[in-house]
A and B are shown apart, each in its own frame.
Chain A
């Protein structure tokens, strides 16, 4: 068996995943908390004012990371949906189940911080333009994934139905991404591009980069922690979870 196939095979084992991710969780949480602290203080205190928007532009340091994550989490669920439908990997189903509420919360934050930024900048809390509307659709897709899982009692069928919606819903992500280019919107175009240097001074975009990486680490830690709980619960009858629990209970008594 090739190395990649062996890796994919082990990923199919929730126990193996649980065993290796304990240390990752600690590292991701520590890095995430440190980066978000540094990025937020930098953005609030040390970044210069925007010459047009004044201080309201500082909302960018929480809005862009959450808006970016809202899309990335949905794409990750779409990929997990494909894995579940094609290879029936249990871990993929658990990933979608754990990520949907996190993604919904993050999308909610992106919408709210966007509205709060819109008021002083556009003069309105909400406008029905292509960007805001497509992100609102994304929010309802997350809600739909959770509702659909609740509505189907059989776990395996629910998982497959949710996976289909996760995969189909990914068509919305490029619509969000290119909405500011395809349509005339109030929303400003991207501040960052992979191919061109930033148009902002470094004192403005560096804290943004720090916060984007920090939010990614924190949300990865949250999803990982949820996934580990989900594994414990779904495998709670197995010998290895009983052993793990016995060690935990003994440890807390001693």
Chain B
């Protein structure tokens, strides 16, 4: 346990190191999620547009 705390503290540089990694990982997640959500939106939009046609058939 103590060893893990020492690891997190990074010899006093913990705040800097974890902040930098946090920002980098968060940015990767955000830029990665954007096209996935946009693709879903595109398909959902066209599904909504196709629905009335299907019920009319």
Binding site for B on A (CB under 8 A): 36, 40, 44-45, 49, 54-56, 58-59, 62-63, 66, 101-102, 105-106, 108-109, 112-113, 116-117, 119-120, 215, 218-219, 221-222, 225-226, 228-229, 232-233, 236, 245, 248-249, 252
Contacts and interface: CB of A to CB of B under 8 A. Distances in A.
A54 B39 contact: no
Interface string B23-45: 11101101110111011001100
Contacts of B27: 66, 105-106, 108-109
Select the residue from A40, A105, A229 with max chain B CB neighbours within 10 A.
A229
A117 B11 CA distance: 14
B35 A62 contact: no
B43 A120 contact: no
Contact of B17 (A44, A219, A225): A44
A249 B50 contact: yes
Given A55-B10, A56-B13, A120-B13, A225 B20 contact: no
B31 A102 contact: yes
Given A105-B27, A222-B32, A229 B17 contact: no
A67 B8 CA distance: 25
A117 B13 CA distance: 10
B9 to A, nearest CB: 9
16 contacts: A44-B21, A55-B14, A59-B20, A66-B27, A101-B31, A108-B27, A109-B23, A109-B27, A112-B23, A120-B16, A219-B31, A222-B34, A225-B35, A229-B38, A233-B42, A245-B50
B24 A109 contact: yes
